[in-house]
A and B are shown apart, each in its own frame.
Chain A
């Protein structure tokens, strides 16, 4: 898995868009970018993933740069419930990795939503 680098912590005002950056400059062509988050005392929760196109779902948007060396997770209207540690992971999906599907988490970004 490619190494990812994230800021240790970030604050965001409630109601504003939270933009969480991730650097993955050594990402290979077949590695996807996944985002998970972990709310205190809970297990990680899948948010979104992408390869090279921007993606959007009901939770967030993922913007991947054209060179794929970095990406940004966007929470469009942050609420207090979005306070969590956010993990950016670059990995090969299992279908092409012969079943080795493990996720390699770093230390993530601790996002605090300020009322």
Chain B
């Protein structure tokens, strides 16, 4: 498949556990985004990478949230000491590059995280 791939599709964790969510962007896409979507709401921005550089992490809700993209391709969103309010769908998106304008963001189908 040529789309954005996220794994796992579903994750259940107990409160206090750490979780790691993976995103495989479209090959060659420079920009990568993470969004959080609560039930019944639109996605909300978490963080943005250009290649391996994290240029914007203003949307991360707390220091328990950490994202990385060490080789400029696959990205991992890690949540430490999970809490019930972290339950949401986590979406990853990628886009081609910064040089050409108006490149749309291509989204994966998300990871649905449930914290018990």
Contact = CB atoms under 8 A, between A and B. Distances in A.
B42 to A, nearest CB: 3
Interface string B87-116: 000010101001111101111111000000
Contacts of A105: 35, 42-44
A57 to B, nearest CB: 11
Interface residues of A, number: 25
Among A42, A45, A103, A108: residue with most chain B CB under 10 A? A103
Contacts, number: 68
Contact of B42 (A49, A87, A94): A87
Contacts of A95: 98-101
Interface stretch (B48-56, B64-72, B76-84): B48-56
Interface residues of B, number: 30
Interface in A33-74: 34, 41-46, 49
Contacts of A45: 107
B108 A100 contact: no
Given A32-B102, A43-B91, A99-B98, A104 B108 contact: no
A1 B44 CA distance: 13
Given A43-B4, A43-B93, A107-B41, A101 B104 contact: no
Interface string B56-68: 1001000000000
A45 B45 CA distance: 16
A44 B45 contact: no
Interface of A: 32, 34, 41-46, 49, 85, 87, 93-96, 99-108
Interface of B: 4, 31, 33, 35, 40-45, 48, 50, 55-56, 59, 91, 93, 95, 98-102, 104-110
20 contacts: A43-B91, A43-B108, A43-B109, A43-B110, A44-B91, A93-B102, A95-B99, A95-B100, A95-B101, A99-B56, A100-B48, A101-B33, A101-B105, A102-B45, A102-B48, A103-B35, A103-B105, A105-B35, A105-B42, A107-B42
